[in-house]
């Protein structure tokens, strides 16, 4: 096989356009060179170049963030792969560089939708390979649960189709194992009927938070799977952005009587102050996220809990209050998320009732041990929580990867890595070492 020269689609460190491209891509650090392929042949050539020159490969699809890329890295900017094609039988083929808001827009005229992230600008590639917890997770599962097949350029340069019937072990590994096994160029999903949604927010009194969360949990345990609700507590960010405590909800469907019946118990929770709820299109629910300005020091933690018990709620609220300026997000799961067998995909935390996410922001005067103190306090919840959702963790390393996957899942992923990427070329990620 004759490989292409990569010079025509590559920007190298030190060139005139390099720094602006790094900023545009919102990279945490600078790679040695950035390849911008437009075909599978150019991806294969980039992988061959990296192998020949001893470079790691990092992947960047169309989303709003990316992992760090070291000096010894070739970064593949896959934003040119952004085509969305609606096929027969509720199927939709989506290129890896597309963003979920554009997917929702393309599907809306057909009365269809896909479970995705919360944000318009989340990239299809990264979110799908890592899971995809979003506004339809209880109704239609993770984004990866709707995946039918994927086109993949392997580190060897071979192009394969992964599905239940073709390369089934690769297909299993891709659904939760991240970009460890190859470069996915297109995803084919089975979309779901969704004419519209009923969505909005319920403002809460933070003084009664623990009692509110306990009552909310009880409501959700018997709520229909169409009702997806997340608790979000935000600290104050200056006088124009005061602290907030609220439930964010999406009822997937256009039957107002069913939506009203499902939502009403939430309006009767202790601590409810006000609500804003209305029919909307699904695409209008997806938040448009702007790039943050300046450096922010953040201590991130997340965990799954199979039982959102009273004691866990009390200790979680107390821990969050001790963090100072911190975000607390609680994603209620169950429903379709729990319906998938634990070994059916590489995303294995199928028994979870909730996903707990905390992000504590440290000011310039924070004590030097603040990071360790916060993580130690979060660890006190560990006897009632497990695992970690990699898509919500910018921190990487072997310890993080070990938290993401139960031992049996990680062992199977390592075996797949030895088959598809034995040299660990794709390592700038939540890496699964062969």
For the chain, domain boundaries: 7-77, 84-194+410-420, 197-395
Q: Give the pLDDT confidence score for residue 64 in this predicted structure.
A: 56
7-77 carries CATH number 3.30.43.10: yes
CA distance 231 to 344: 29
Phi, psi angle pair for 174, to nearest 5°? -60, -30
Per-residue pLDDT of 238-280, as tens digits, reads: 777 788 999 999 999 999 999 999 999 999 999 999 999 999 9
- Give the pLDDT confidence of 217-240 residue by residue, as tens digits: 999 999 999 999 999 998 887 777
Question: How far is Cα 45 from Cα 241, in angstroms, rounded to an integer?
Answer: 48
pLDDT at site 294: 47
CA geometry: angle 31, 298, 289, nearest 5 deg: 75
For 190-212, b/e burial (b = at least 16 CB within 10 A) is: bbbebebbbbbbbebeeeebbbb
Strand partners, 287: 119
For the chain, what is the largest distance between any 2 Cα atoms, rounded to a whole number of angstroms?
68
Please name which of 145, 121, 143 lies closest in space to residue 132, comparing C-alpha atoms: 143
Q: What are phi and psi of 124, to 5 degrees?
A: -65, -45
201 close to 229: Cβ distance less than 8 angstroms: no
pLDDT at 297: 67
- Give the DSSP H or E segment for 92: strand 91-95
Report the run of H or E that residue 431 belongs to, with start and end. Answer: none
b/e for 280-301, b at 16 or more Cβ within 10 A? ebbbbbbeebeeeeeeeebbbb
- CA gap 262, 134 in Å, rounded: 19
pTM > 0.95:
no
**Looking at domain 197-395, does it have CATH number 3.40.462.20?**
yes
The pLDDT of residue 296 is: 57
Same fold, 7-77 and 84-194+410-420: no
Residue-level pLDDT at 3: 63
Task: Return the number of other C-beta atoms located less than 10 Å from residue 272's C-beta.
Answer: 18
CATH level 2 (architecture), domain 84-194+410-420: 2-Layer Sandwich (3.30)
What whole-number distance in Å separates Cα of residue 139 and Cα of residue 332?
Answer: 12
Output 237-243 pairs: Cβ under 8 A, ≥24 positions apart.
243/206
Q: In whole angstroms, give the CA distance from residue 156 to residue 324.
A: 49
Give pLDDT, residue 7: 87
Torsion of CA 186, 188, 194, 195, to 10 degrees: 70
pLDDT-flagged residues of the chain (< 70): 1-3, 28, 63-69, 289-298
> E-assigned strands of 311-411?
326-332, 354-362
CA distances 149 to 258, 283, 339, Å, are 34, 24, 20
Of 416, 325, 430, whose CA–CA distance to 387 is shortest?
430
Phi, then psi, of 237 in degrees rounded to 5? -120, 65
CA distance 144 to 114: 10
Q: Tokens in use for 31?
A: 């790679």
């Amino acid at each position: 096989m004759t490989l292409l020269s990569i010079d025509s689609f590559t920007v190298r460190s030190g060139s005139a356009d390099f720094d602006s491209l790094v900023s545009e891509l919102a990279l945490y650090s600078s790679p040695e060179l950035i390849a911008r392929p437009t075909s599978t042949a150019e991806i294969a050539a980039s992988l061959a170049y990296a192998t020949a020159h001893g470079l790691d490969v990092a992947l960047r699809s169309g989303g709003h963030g990316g992992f760090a890329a070291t000096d010894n890295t070739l970064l593949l900017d896959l934003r040119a792969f952004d085509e969305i094609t609606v096929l027969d039988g509720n199927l939709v083929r989506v290129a890896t560089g597309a963003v979920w808001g554009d997917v929702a827009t393309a599907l809306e005229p057909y009365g269809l939708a896909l479970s995705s992230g919360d944000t318009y600008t989340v990239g299809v590639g990264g979110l799908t390979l890592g899971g995809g917890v979003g506004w339809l997770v209880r109704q239609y599962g993770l984004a990866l649960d709707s995946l039918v097949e994927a086109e993949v350029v392997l580190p060897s340069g071979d192009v394969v189709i992964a599905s239940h019937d073709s390369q089934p072990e690769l297909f299993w590994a891709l659904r939760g194992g991240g970009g460890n096994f190859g470069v996915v160029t297109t995803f084919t999903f089975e979309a779901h009927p969704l004419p519209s949604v009923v969505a909005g927010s319920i403002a809460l009194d933070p003084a009664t938070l623990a009692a509110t969360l306990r009552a909310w949990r009880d409501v959700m345990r018997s709520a229909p799977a169409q009702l997806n609700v997340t608790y979000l507590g935000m600290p104050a960010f200056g006088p124009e952005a005061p602290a907030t405590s609220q439930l964010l909800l999406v009822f997937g469907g256009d039957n107002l009587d069913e939506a009203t019946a499902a939502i009403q118990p939430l309006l009767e929770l202790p601590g409810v102050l006000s609500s804003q709820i209305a029919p909307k299109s699904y695409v209008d629910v997806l938040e448009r996220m702007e790039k943050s300005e300046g450096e922010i020091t953040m201590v991130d933690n997340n965990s799954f809990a199979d039982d959102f018990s009273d004691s866990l709620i009390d200790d979680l609220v107390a821990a969050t209050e001790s963090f100072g300026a911190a975000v607390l997000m609680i994603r209620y799961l169950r429903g379709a998320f729990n319906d998938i067998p634990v070994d059916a995909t590489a995303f294995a935390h199928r028994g979870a009732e909730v996903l707990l996410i905390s992000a504590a922001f440290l000011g310039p005067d924070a004590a030097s041990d603040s990071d360790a103190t916060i993580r130690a306090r979060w660890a006190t919840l560990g006897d009632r929580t497990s695992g970690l959702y990699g898509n919500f963790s910018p921190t990487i390393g072997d310890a993080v990867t070990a938290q993401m996957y139960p031992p049996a899942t990680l062992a199977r992923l390592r075996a797949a890595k030895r088959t598809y990427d034995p040299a660990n070329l794709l390592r700038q990620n939540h890496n699964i070492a062969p």
